[in-house]
Chains A and B, each alone.
Chain A
Amino acid sequence: MSKMTTSHDTAIDPLVDPATGQRFNAALQGPVTHEEPDFLHKLPMDNAVGAIVALTAEVWMLRERLAALEAELESRKVLPVGAVENHQDLAAAAEARAAELAAYTERVMSELTRNREPVSQIDPAVRKFL
Protein backbone atom coordinates (compact mmCIF):
# COMPACT_ATOMS: atom_id res chain seq x y z
CA MET A 1 0.00 0.00 0.00
CA SER A 2 1.51 3.30 -1.01
CA LYS A 3 1.87 6.07 1.50
CA MET A 4 0.09 9.36 1.18
CA THR A 5 1.98 12.34 -0.12
CA THR A 6 2.32 14.87 2.65
CA SER A 7 2.68 18.58 2.40
CA HIS A 8 5.79 20.39 3.55
CA ASP A 9 4.23 21.77 6.71
CA THR A 10 6.43 21.58 9.76
CA ALA A 11 6.28 18.50 11.92
CA ILE A 12 3.98 18.32 14.92
CA ASP A 13 5.44 16.90 18.13
CA PRO A 14 2.49 14.80 19.26
CA LEU A 15 3.68 14.49 22.85
CA VAL A 16 3.70 18.25 23.46
CA ASP A 17 0.52 20.07 24.37
CA PRO A 18 0.39 22.92 21.83
CA ALA A 19 -1.53 25.12 24.29
CA THR A 20 0.89 24.88 27.19
CA GLY A 21 4.11 23.50 25.71
CA GLN A 22 4.13 20.77 28.37
CA ARG A 23 5.53 17.41 27.38
CA PHE A 24 3.83 14.10 28.17
CA ASN A 25 5.24 10.59 28.41
CA ALA A 26 2.56 8.77 26.47
CA ALA A 27 -0.63 10.83 26.29
CA LEU A 28 -0.58 12.10 22.75
CA GLN A 29 -1.67 15.69 22.30
CA GLY A 30 -1.82 15.78 18.52
CA PRO A 31 -1.54 13.74 15.32
CA VAL A 32 1.52 11.65 14.52
CA THR A 33 2.85 13.24 11.35
CA HIS A 34 6.59 12.63 11.00
CA GLU A 35 7.99 10.28 13.62
CA GLU A 36 6.57 7.53 15.80
CA PRO A 37 6.28 8.49 19.47
CA ASP A 38 8.30 6.53 22.01
CA PHE A 39 5.54 5.55 24.42
CA LEU A 40 7.69 3.23 26.51
CA HIS A 41 10.81 5.25 27.12
CA LYS A 42 10.13 5.04 30.85
CA LEU A 43 9.33 1.34 30.88
CA PRO A 44 11.56 -0.19 33.55
CA MET A 45 14.09 -2.58 32.04
CA ASP A 46 13.07 -5.12 34.69
CA ASN A 47 9.60 -5.24 33.19
CA ALA A 48 10.94 -5.72 29.66
CA VAL A 49 13.24 -8.50 30.83
CA GLY A 50 10.32 -10.03 32.71
CA ALA A 51 8.32 -10.19 29.50
CA ILE A 52 11.24 -11.80 27.66
CA VAL A 53 11.67 -14.41 30.39
CA ALA A 54 7.93 -15.09 30.38
CA LEU A 55 8.04 -15.55 26.62
CA THR A 56 11.05 -17.85 27.00
CA ALA A 57 9.02 -19.96 29.40
CA GLU A 58 6.20 -20.14 26.87
CA VAL A 59 8.65 -21.25 24.16
CA TRP A 60 10.01 -23.94 26.50
CA MET A 61 6.46 -25.18 27.12
CA LEU A 62 6.03 -25.52 23.36
CA ARG A 63 9.36 -27.32 23.00
CA GLU A 64 8.56 -29.69 25.82
CA ARG A 65 5.13 -30.48 24.41
CA LEU A 66 6.60 -31.05 20.94
CA ALA A 67 9.25 -33.37 22.38
CA ALA A 68 6.55 -35.31 24.24
CA LEU A 69 4.54 -35.57 21.05
CA GLU A 70 7.57 -36.88 19.14
CA ALA A 71 8.26 -39.43 21.85
CA GLU A 72 4.64 -40.61 21.85
CA LEU A 73 4.56 -40.91 18.06
CA GLU A 74 7.80 -42.89 18.13
CA SER A 75 6.71 -45.18 20.94
CA ARG A 76 3.46 -45.93 19.14
CA LYS A 77 5.45 -46.51 15.95
CA VAL A 78 3.62 -43.79 14.10
CA LEU A 79 7.07 -42.41 13.34
CA PRO A 80 10.39 -44.32 13.26
CA VAL A 81 12.72 -43.46 16.11
CA GLY A 82 14.75 -40.39 15.19
CA ALA A 83 12.50 -39.55 12.25
CA VAL A 84 12.18 -35.91 13.19
CA GLU A 85 15.81 -35.52 14.18
CA ASN A 86 17.04 -37.13 10.97
CA HIS A 87 14.45 -35.64 8.66
CA GLN A 88 15.94 -34.24 5.46
CA ASP A 89 13.92 -31.90 3.36
CA LEU A 90 13.86 -32.47 -0.36
CA ALA A 91 15.49 -29.65 -2.28
CA ALA A 92 12.28 -27.73 -2.94
CA ALA A 93 11.09 -28.10 0.64
CA ALA A 94 14.51 -27.06 1.95
CA GLU A 95 14.35 -23.98 -0.20
CA ALA A 96 10.86 -23.15 1.06
CA ARG A 97 11.94 -23.66 4.67
CA ALA A 98 14.96 -21.42 4.18
CA ALA A 99 12.67 -18.74 2.81
CA GLU A 100 10.35 -19.21 5.79
CA LEU A 101 13.29 -18.86 8.15
CA ALA A 102 14.42 -15.69 6.41
CA ALA A 103 10.94 -14.21 6.59
CA TYR A 104 10.57 -15.24 10.23
CA THR A 105 13.92 -13.68 11.10
CA GLU A 106 12.98 -10.49 9.32
CA ARG A 107 9.65 -10.24 11.14
CA VAL A 108 11.37 -10.37 14.49
CA MET A 109 14.54 -8.45 13.76
CA SER A 110 12.87 -5.67 11.80
CA GLU A 111 11.14 -4.56 15.00
CA LEU A 112 14.55 -3.73 16.45
CA THR A 113 15.69 -1.76 13.45
CA ARG A 114 12.30 -0.30 12.62
CA ASN A 115 12.30 3.10 11.02
CA ARG A 116 10.45 5.60 13.22
CA GLU A 117 8.64 7.08 10.26
CA PRO A 118 4.91 6.39 10.72
CA VAL A 119 3.60 3.71 8.42
CA SER A 120 0.54 5.86 7.93
CA GLN A 121 1.54 9.46 7.79
CA ILE A 122 -0.95 12.19 8.58
CA ASP A 123 -0.40 15.34 6.58
CA PRO A 124 0.61 18.08 9.05
CA ALA A 125 -1.66 20.43 7.11
CA VAL A 126 -4.44 18.69 9.05
CA ARG A 127 -3.87 21.19 11.86
CA LYS A 128 -6.21 23.59 10.05
CA PHE A 129 -9.11 21.23 10.86
CA LEU A 130 -8.20 20.81 14.53
Chain B
Amino acid sequence: MNARLDIDNDGHEQDPLVVHESRDFRSYHAFLRAARNYMEGPLVGQLHDRYERAHPTPASDWRAAQWVLDELNEFQFYCWAYRNLQRFKYHRPTLGIFATLERDRDRLERALDAAAAETLKSDPTALRLDPSLSLPEYFRYVPFHQHTGGVAGDSLAGLAYEIGRRTTVPAHADPNGIYRILFDALPQREYARVLDWGVGHGAALITWQQRQPQSECHGVDLSAPCLKVANLRARERGMRFLLSQQDLEHLDYPDAHFDLVFFNFMLHELPPAHTPALLAEAARVLKPGGLFAGHEFHLRPGDAFQNVLQRTHAWTNNETYSTPWYDTPIGEWARAAGFSKVSITPFERLNRSVRRPGKAPINANHWNLYVFEK
Protein backbone atom coordinates (compact mmCIF):
# COMPACT_ATOMS: atom_id res chain seq x y z
CA MET B 1 0.00 0.00 0.00
CA ASN B 2 1.41 3.35 -0.93
CA ALA B 3 0.40 6.07 1.42
CA ARG B 4 0.02 9.66 0.44
CA LEU B 5 0.58 12.63 2.63
CA ASP B 6 -1.93 15.39 2.24
CA ILE B 7 -0.80 18.47 4.05
CA ASP B 8 -3.85 20.07 5.47
CA ASN B 9 -3.46 23.68 6.52
CA ASP B 10 -6.46 23.44 8.77
CA GLY B 11 -4.93 20.70 10.86
CA HIS B 12 -7.49 18.08 9.90
CA GLU B 13 -6.59 14.45 10.01
CA GLN B 14 -4.63 13.14 7.06
CA ASP B 15 -3.87 9.77 5.58
CA PRO B 16 -1.02 8.28 7.56
CA LEU B 17 2.41 7.90 6.09
CA VAL B 18 2.92 4.17 5.70
CA VAL B 19 6.22 2.45 5.09
CA HIS B 20 5.68 -0.17 2.44
CA GLU B 21 6.05 -3.54 4.14
CA SER B 22 6.01 -6.45 1.73
CA ARG B 23 4.49 -9.82 2.54
CA ASP B 24 8.01 -11.18 2.91
CA PHE B 25 8.89 -8.34 5.31
CA ARG B 26 5.84 -9.07 7.43
CA SER B 27 6.40 -12.81 7.59
CA TYR B 28 10.13 -12.33 8.23
CA HIS B 29 9.49 -10.01 11.15
CA ALA B 30 6.70 -12.23 12.44
CA PHE B 31 9.27 -14.99 12.63
CA LEU B 32 11.71 -12.74 14.46
CA ARG B 33 9.02 -11.84 17.00
CA ALA B 34 8.26 -15.53 17.48
CA ALA B 35 11.97 -16.21 17.93
CA ARG B 36 12.20 -13.45 20.49
CA ASN B 37 9.20 -14.81 22.36
CA TYR B 38 10.81 -18.23 22.32
CA MET B 39 14.00 -16.69 23.70
CA GLU B 40 12.17 -14.85 26.48
CA GLY B 41 9.78 -17.72 27.24
CA PRO B 42 10.64 -21.39 26.73
CA LEU B 43 14.38 -20.80 26.44
CA VAL B 44 14.47 -18.88 29.72
CA GLY B 45 12.44 -21.70 31.32
CA GLN B 46 14.86 -24.32 30.03
CA LEU B 47 17.82 -22.20 31.06
CA HIS B 48 16.42 -21.85 34.56
CA ASP B 49 15.86 -25.60 34.84
CA ARG B 50 19.47 -26.27 33.83
CA TYR B 51 20.65 -23.56 36.20
CA GLU B 52 18.73 -25.10 39.10
CA ARG B 53 20.22 -28.51 38.38
CA ALA B 54 23.71 -27.07 38.12
CA HIS B 55 23.25 -24.92 41.21
CA PRO B 56 20.64 -26.55 43.50
CA THR B 57 21.16 -23.91 46.17
CA PRO B 58 20.19 -20.57 44.66
CA ALA B 59 23.23 -18.35 44.35
CA SER B 60 23.07 -15.34 46.58
CA ASP B 61 25.43 -13.39 44.42
CA TRP B 62 24.91 -12.63 40.73
CA ARG B 63 28.62 -13.06 40.05
CA ALA B 64 28.50 -16.66 41.25
CA ALA B 65 25.38 -17.28 39.21
CA GLN B 66 27.04 -15.80 36.15
CA TRP B 67 29.85 -18.37 36.25
CA VAL B 68 27.31 -21.19 36.38
CA LEU B 69 25.15 -19.78 33.62
CA ASP B 70 28.10 -18.94 31.39
CA GLU B 71 28.88 -22.66 31.03
CA LEU B 72 25.38 -23.55 29.81
CA ASN B 73 24.58 -23.87 26.12
CA GLU B 74 21.17 -22.37 26.78
CA PHE B 75 22.73 -19.21 28.19
CA GLN B 76 25.22 -18.93 25.35
CA PHE B 77 22.39 -19.28 22.86
CA TYR B 78 20.30 -16.77 24.85
CA CYS B 79 23.12 -14.22 24.56
CA TRP B 80 23.54 -14.96 20.86
CA ALA B 81 19.80 -14.56 20.27
CA TYR B 82 19.51 -11.36 22.27
CA ARG B 83 22.20 -9.71 20.22
CA ASN B 84 21.63 -11.25 16.82
CA LEU B 85 17.84 -11.22 16.57
CA GLN B 86 18.12 -7.47 16.98
CA ARG B 87 20.72 -7.39 14.22
CA PHE B 88 18.43 -9.49 12.03
CA LYS B 89 15.63 -7.01 12.68
CA TYR B 90 17.52 -3.92 11.63
CA HIS B 91 20.33 -5.01 9.38
CA ARG B 92 19.59 -7.98 7.18
CA PRO B 93 19.76 -7.42 3.41
CA THR B 94 16.39 -6.79 1.74
CA LEU B 95 14.19 -7.59 4.73
CA GLY B 96 15.77 -5.62 7.56
CA ILE B 97 14.20 -2.35 8.64
CA PHE B 98 17.05 -0.25 7.26
CA ALA B 99 16.99 -1.94 3.84
CA THR B 100 13.23 -1.54 3.69
CA LEU B 101 13.41 2.17 4.47
CA GLU B 102 16.30 2.69 2.09
CA ARG B 103 14.26 1.49 -0.88
CA ASP B 104 11.69 4.17 -0.17
CA ARG B 105 14.03 6.86 1.10
CA ASP B 106 13.05 9.68 -1.25
CA ARG B 107 9.32 9.42 -0.64
CA LEU B 108 9.69 9.07 3.11
CA GLU B 109 12.14 11.95 3.44
CA ARG B 110 9.87 14.16 1.35
CA ALA B 111 6.88 13.33 3.52
CA LEU B 112 8.72 14.02 6.78
CA ASP B 113 10.25 17.25 5.46
CA ALA B 114 6.94 18.45 4.00
CA ALA B 115 5.14 17.92 7.29
CA ALA B 116 7.93 19.67 9.19
CA ALA B 117 7.98 22.59 6.75
CA GLU B 118 4.24 23.02 7.03
CA THR B 119 4.34 23.03 10.82
CA LEU B 120 7.25 25.45 10.87
CA LYS B 121 5.36 27.74 8.52
CA SER B 122 1.92 27.61 10.10
CA ASP B 123 2.76 27.11 13.77
CA PRO B 124 6.49 27.62 14.45
CA THR B 125 6.24 26.95 18.18
CA ALA B 126 4.90 23.47 17.46
CA LEU B 127 8.21 22.23 16.08
CA ARG B 128 11.46 23.78 17.19
CA LEU B 129 14.48 22.15 15.56
CA ASP B 130 18.00 23.22 16.42
CA PRO B 131 20.59 22.19 13.81
CA SER B 132 23.30 23.80 15.93
CA LEU B 133 22.54 21.63 18.96
CA SER B 134 25.64 19.78 20.09
CA LEU B 135 24.65 16.24 20.99
CA PRO B 136 26.07 15.12 24.35
CA GLU B 137 29.03 12.77 24.21
CA TYR B 138 27.20 9.99 26.00
CA PHE B 139 24.51 10.08 23.35
CA ARG B 140 26.95 10.15 20.44
CA TYR B 141 29.05 7.28 21.76
CA VAL B 142 26.35 4.63 21.91
CA PRO B 143 24.04 3.46 19.13
CA PHE B 144 21.38 2.23 21.58
CA HIS B 145 19.60 -1.03 20.75
CA GLN B 146 22.11 -1.61 17.91
CA HIS B 147 20.39 1.09 15.90
CA THR B 148 23.26 1.92 13.56
CA GLY B 149 24.20 5.57 13.75
CA GLY B 150 21.84 6.07 16.67
CA VAL B 151 18.34 7.50 16.54
CA ALA B 152 19.66 10.88 15.40
CA GLY B 153 22.17 9.76 12.80
CA ASP B 154 20.02 9.57 9.70
CA SER B 155 16.98 11.40 8.35
CA LEU B 156 14.98 8.15 8.52
CA ALA B 157 16.25 7.10 11.95
CA GLY B 158 12.96 8.14 13.58
CA LEU B 159 10.96 5.90 11.26
CA ALA B 160 13.38 3.02 11.85
CA TYR B 161 12.89 3.49 15.59
CA GLU B 162 9.13 3.60 15.15
CA ILE B 163 9.10 0.30 13.26
CA GLY B 164 11.70 -1.28 15.53
CA ARG B 165 9.70 -0.69 18.70
CA ARG B 166 7.19 -3.32 17.63
CA THR B 167 9.61 -6.02 18.64
CA THR B 168 11.29 -4.15 21.47
CA VAL B 169 8.63 -4.79 24.06
CA PRO B 170 7.00 -8.16 24.67
CA ALA B 171 3.53 -6.82 23.90
CA HIS B 172 4.53 -6.15 20.32
CA ALA B 173 1.01 -6.73 19.08
CA ASP B 174 0.00 -3.64 21.04
CA PRO B 175 3.07 -1.44 21.19
CA ASN B 176 1.16 1.42 22.83
CA GLY B 177 -0.03 -0.80 25.67
CA ILE B 178 3.10 -0.08 27.67
CA TYR B 179 2.25 3.64 27.68
CA ARG B 180 -1.34 3.03 28.77
CA ILE B 181 -0.13 0.86 31.63
CA LEU B 182 2.15 3.67 32.77
CA PHE B 183 -0.56 6.31 32.51
CA ASP B 184 -3.03 4.07 34.37
CA ALA B 185 -0.54 3.91 37.23
CA LEU B 186 -0.16 7.67 37.68
CA PRO B 187 -2.32 9.64 40.11
CA GLN B 188 -5.55 10.18 38.19
CA ARG B 189 -6.08 13.88 37.94
CA GLU B 190 -6.01 16.57 35.30
CA TYR B 191 -2.60 17.56 34.06
CA ALA B 192 -2.85 20.85 32.20
CA ARG B 193 0.66 20.84 30.73
CA VAL B 194 2.74 17.72 30.23
CA LEU B 195 6.20 17.03 28.85
CA ASP B 196 7.26 13.74 27.27
CA TRP B 197 10.91 13.57 28.37
CA GLY B 198 12.54 11.88 25.36
CA VAL B 199 9.51 11.93 23.11
CA GLY B 200 11.09 9.91 20.28
CA HIS B 201 8.58 9.05 17.57
CA GLY B 202 5.73 10.51 19.59
CA ALA B 203 3.66 7.38 20.20
CA ALA B 204 3.55 7.86 23.97
CA LEU B 205 2.50 11.49 23.69
CA ILE B 206 -0.21 10.56 21.19
CA THR B 207 -1.45 7.93 23.62
CA TRP B 208 -1.46 10.55 26.37
CA GLN B 209 -3.36 13.09 24.27
CA GLN B 210 -5.97 10.50 23.32
CA ARG B 211 -6.66 9.94 27.02
CA GLN B 212 -6.32 13.55 28.14
CA PRO B 213 -7.36 15.78 25.24
CA GLN B 214 -7.33 18.86 27.45
CA SER B 215 -3.59 18.62 28.14
CA GLU B 216 -1.13 20.90 26.41
CA CYS B 217 1.36 18.33 25.15
CA HIS B 218 5.08 19.05 24.88
CA GLY B 219 7.80 16.71 23.71
CA VAL B 220 11.54 17.14 23.92
CA ASP B 221 14.25 15.04 22.32
CA LEU B 222 17.83 15.25 21.10
CA SER B 223 16.92 13.68 17.76
CA ALA B 224 15.57 15.83 14.94
CA PRO B 225 14.67 12.77 12.82
CA CYS B 226 12.54 11.46 15.70
CA LEU B 227 10.88 14.83 16.27
CA LYS B 228 9.95 14.99 12.60
CA VAL B 229 8.19 11.65 12.91
CA ALA B 230 6.41 12.80 16.07
CA ASN B 231 5.32 15.97 14.27
CA LEU B 232 4.02 13.99 11.31
CA ARG B 233 2.13 11.51 13.47
CA ALA B 234 0.55 14.35 15.48
CA ARG B 235 -0.54 16.12 12.31
CA GLU B 236 -2.04 12.92 10.94
CA ARG B 237 -4.25 12.78 14.02
CA GLY B 238 -5.10 16.46 14.07
CA MET B 239 -3.19 16.88 17.33
CA ARG B 240 -1.13 19.91 18.24
CA PHE B 241 2.11 19.06 20.00
CA LEU B 242 4.83 21.47 21.05
CA LEU B 243 7.96 19.59 20.05
CA SER B 244 11.45 20.80 20.68
CA GLN B 245 14.96 19.59 19.99
CA GLN B 246 16.94 20.23 23.15
CA ASP B 247 19.41 18.69 25.52
CA LEU B 248 17.40 17.43 28.49
CA GLU B 249 20.09 18.79 30.75
CA HIS B 250 19.66 22.36 29.48
CA LEU B 251 15.99 22.97 28.75
CA ASP B 252 14.73 26.39 27.70
CA TYR B 253 11.34 26.05 29.39
CA PRO B 254 10.55 28.49 32.20
CA ASP B 255 10.73 27.43 35.83
CA ALA B 256 7.62 25.70 37.20
CA HIS B 257 6.12 25.17 33.75
CA PHE B 258 4.78 21.61 33.72
CA ASP B 259 2.32 19.62 35.79
CA LEU B 260 3.80 16.31 34.66
CA VAL B 261 7.07 15.23 33.06
CA PHE B 262 6.85 11.59 32.03
CA PHE B 263 9.33 9.17 30.51
CA ASN B 264 9.43 5.65 29.16
CA PHE B 265 12.54 3.65 30.09
CA MET B 266 14.86 6.62 29.69
CA LEU B 267 16.90 6.45 32.88
CA HIS B 268 18.96 3.46 31.82
CA GLU B 269 20.10 5.30 28.69
CA LEU B 270 21.76 8.03 30.77
CA PRO B 271 25.19 7.73 32.37
CA PRO B 272 25.31 8.46 36.10
CA ALA B 273 27.74 11.32 35.47
CA HIS B 274 24.81 13.23 33.95
CA THR B 275 21.86 11.91 35.92
CA PRO B 276 21.90 14.41 38.83
CA ALA B 277 21.94 17.38 36.46
CA LEU B 278 19.18 15.84 34.36
CA LEU B 279 17.03 15.29 37.44
CA ALA B 280 17.66 18.83 38.65
CA GLU B 281 16.60 20.24 35.30
CA ALA B 282 13.44 18.14 35.28
CA ALA B 283 12.64 19.41 38.78
CA ARG B 284 13.24 23.01 37.74
CA VAL B 285 10.65 22.92 34.95
CA LEU B 286 8.01 21.25 37.14
CA LYS B 287 5.43 23.21 39.11
CA PRO B 288 5.37 22.64 42.87
CA GLY B 289 3.44 19.41 43.34
CA GLY B 290 4.20 18.40 39.75
CA LEU B 291 5.30 14.85 38.98
CA PHE B 292 8.32 13.36 37.27
CA ALA B 293 7.24 9.83 36.50
CA GLY B 294 8.00 6.85 34.36
CA HIS B 295 8.92 3.21 34.23
CA GLU B 296 12.27 1.54 33.98
CA PHE B 297 13.68 -1.96 34.13
CA HIS B 298 15.97 -2.95 36.95
CA LEU B 299 17.48 -5.80 38.91
CA ARG B 300 15.06 -7.92 40.96
CA PRO B 301 16.31 -7.82 44.55
CA GLY B 302 17.69 -11.15 45.71
CA ASP B 303 17.24 -12.91 42.36
CA ALA B 304 20.73 -13.74 41.10
CA PHE B 305 19.41 -15.54 38.00
CA GLN B 306 17.38 -12.54 36.92
CA ASN B 307 20.22 -10.19 37.74
CA VAL B 308 22.62 -12.00 35.40
CA LEU B 309 20.11 -11.97 32.52
CA GLN B 310 19.28 -8.33 33.11
CA ARG B 311 22.94 -7.37 33.25
CA THR B 312 23.74 -9.17 30.01
CA HIS B 313 21.16 -7.07 28.18
CA ALA B 314 23.28 -4.00 28.90
CA TRP B 315 26.02 -5.29 26.66
CA THR B 316 24.24 -7.55 24.20
CA ASN B 317 21.79 -4.87 23.09
CA ASN B 318 23.97 -1.78 23.44
CA GLU B 319 22.14 -0.61 26.55
CA THR B 320 25.57 0.50 27.62
CA TYR B 321 24.64 2.65 30.60
CA SER B 322 22.33 0.05 32.13
CA THR B 323 25.00 -1.49 34.30
CA PRO B 324 25.95 1.75 36.05
CA TRP B 325 22.22 2.59 36.18
CA TYR B 326 21.56 -0.46 38.35
CA ASP B 327 23.98 0.94 40.91
CA THR B 328 22.62 4.47 40.75
CA PRO B 329 21.06 5.73 44.02
CA ILE B 330 18.29 7.34 42.06
CA GLY B 331 16.02 8.03 45.04
CA GLU B 332 18.75 9.80 46.92
CA TRP B 333 19.69 11.83 43.85
CA ALA B 334 16.05 12.72 43.21
CA ARG B 335 15.74 14.21 46.70
CA ALA B 336 18.96 16.12 46.19
CA ALA B 337 17.57 17.43 42.89
CA GLY B 338 14.60 19.01 44.64
CA PHE B 339 11.90 16.34 44.73
CA SER B 340 10.10 16.27 48.08
CA LYS B 341 8.42 12.87 47.66
CA VAL B 342 10.16 9.94 46.01
CA SER B 343 8.32 6.72 45.26
CA ILE B 344 10.00 3.70 43.65
CA THR B 345 7.82 0.60 43.53
CA PRO B 346 7.87 -2.67 41.60
CA PHE B 347 5.71 -2.30 38.52
CA GLU B 348 4.14 -5.74 38.51
CA ARG B 349 1.88 -5.13 35.54
CA LEU B 350 4.94 -4.89 33.32
CA ASN B 351 6.77 -7.87 34.73
CA ARG B 352 6.67 -10.78 32.39
CA SER B 353 6.87 -14.14 34.06
CA VAL B 354 7.71 -17.40 32.37
CA ARG B 355 5.03 -19.81 33.56
CA ARG B 356 5.77 -23.51 33.91
CA PRO B 357 3.27 -26.22 34.75
CA GLY B 358 3.63 -27.34 38.34
CA LYS B 359 6.50 -24.97 39.06
CA ALA B 360 6.92 -21.47 40.31
CA PRO B 361 7.01 -18.84 37.57
CA ILE B 362 10.36 -17.44 36.57
CA ASN B 363 10.72 -13.70 36.61
CA ALA B 364 13.23 -12.92 33.91
CA ASN B 365 12.67 -9.19 34.03
CA HIS B 366 11.84 -6.60 36.61
CA TRP B 367 10.27 -3.20 36.23
CA ASN B 368 9.95 -0.33 38.62
CA LEU B 369 7.58 2.62 38.62
CA TYR B 370 9.19 5.92 39.52
CA VAL B 371 7.06 8.82 40.75
CA PHE B 372 8.94 11.85 42.06
CA GLU B 373 6.90 14.80 43.30
CA LYS B 374 8.34 18.29 43.42
State the A residues within 8 Å of B (CB).
Answer: 1-4, 14, 24-32, 36-37, 39-40, 42-44, 47, 103, 106-107, 110, 118-123, 125-126, 129-130
Give the shortest distance, in Å, between A6 (CB) and chain B (any CB): 8
Residue of A at shortest CB range from B150?
Answer: A4
Residue of A at shortest CB range from B75?
Answer: A26
Residue of A at shortest CB range from B147?
Answer: A120
Task: Please measure, in the bound complex, the distance between the C-alpha atom of A54 and the C-alpha atom of B325, giving whole angstroms.
Answer: 41
**Which residues in A have their C-beta under 8 angstroms from that of B146?**
118-120
Does B208 interact with chain A (Cβ within 8 Å)?
A: no
**Which residues in B have their C-beta under 8 angstroms from that of A123?**
140-142
**Which residues in A have their C-beta under 8 angstroms from that of B83?**
32, 36-37, 39
**Which residues in B have their C-beta under 8 angstroms from that of A130?**
271, 320-321, 323-324
Extra contacts besides A126-B142, A129-B271 (17): CB < 8 Å: A26-B75, A28-B316, A32-B83, A37-B83, A40-B76, A43-B76, A107-B92, A119-B91, A119-B148, A120-B149, A120-B318, A121-B143, A122-B320, A123-B140, A126-B320, A129-B273, A130-B271
Task: Please measure, in the bound complex, the distance between the C-alpha atom of A98 and the C-alpha atom of B120, giving whole angstroms.
Answer: 46
Residue of B at shortest CB range from A14?
Answer: B315
In B74-97, which residues have CB < 8 Å from any A CB?
Answer: 75-80, 83, 87, 90-95
Task: Please measure, in the bound complex, the distance between the C-alpha atom of A9 and the C-alpha atom of B323, giving whole angstroms.
Answer: 21
**Which residues in A have their C-beta under 8 angstroms from that of B273?**
129
State the B residues within 8 Å of A (CB).
Answer: 66, 69-71, 73, 75-80, 83, 87, 90-95, 98, 137-138, 140-143, 146-150, 153-154, 156-157, 160, 271-273, 308, 312, 314-316, 318, 320-321, 323-324
**Which residues in B have their C-beta under 8 angstroms from that of A103?**
93-94
Give the shortest distance, in Å, between A81 (CB) and chain B (any CB): 28
**Which residues in A have their C-beta under 8 angstroms from that of B69?**
27
Residue of B at shortest CB range from A104?
Answer: B94
Contact of A43 with B73 in the complex, beta carbons under 8 Å: yes
Task: Please measure, in the bound complex, the distance between the C-alpha atom of A1 and the C-alpha atom of B75, giving whole angstroms.
Answer: 31
**Which residues in B have their C-beta under 8 angstroms from that of A129?**
137-138, 141, 271-273, 320-321, 324
Residue of A at shortest CB range from B82?
Answer: A39
**Which residues in A have their C-beta under 8 angstroms from that of B323?**
130
Q: A122 with B318: in contact, given A26-B75, A39-B79 (CB under 8 Å)?
A: yes
Give the shortest distance, in Å, between B10 (CB) and chain A (any CB): 35
Q: A2 with B154: in contact, given A28-B315, A32-B315 (CB under 8 Å)?
A: yes
Give the shortest distance, in Å, between B153 (CB) and chain A (any CB): 6
**Which residues in A have their C-beta under 8 angstroms from that of B320?**
31, 122, 126, 129-130
Contact of A107 with B149 in the complex, beta carbons under 8 Å: no
Pick from A1, A25, A39, A106 the residue with the most CB of B within 10 Å.
A1
Task: Please measure, in the bound complex, the distance between the C-alpha atom of A42 and the C-alpha atom of B321, giving whole angstroms.
Answer: 29
Residue of A at shortest CB range from B319?
Answer: A31
Q: A40 with B80: in contact, given A107-B93, A120-B143 (CB under 8 Å)?
A: yes
**Which residues in B have their C-beta under 8 angstroms from that of A31?**
142, 315, 318, 320
Q: A25 with B76: in contact, given A1-B148, A32-B315 (CB under 8 Å)?
A: yes
Give the shortest distance, in Å, between A35 (CB) and chain B (any CB): 13
Task: Please measure, in the bound complex, the distance between the C-alpha atom of A71 and the C-alpha atom of B83, giving whole angstroms.
Answer: 43
Query: What are 23 A-B contacts with C-beta separation under 8 Å?
Result: A1-B149, A4-B141, A4-B153, A26-B75, A26-B80, A27-B70, A27-B308, A28-B312, A28-B316, A29-B315, A30-B315, A36-B83, A37-B83, A40-B76, A43-B76, A106-B93, A110-B93, A119-B87, A119-B148, A120-B318, A122-B142, A126-B142, A130-B324
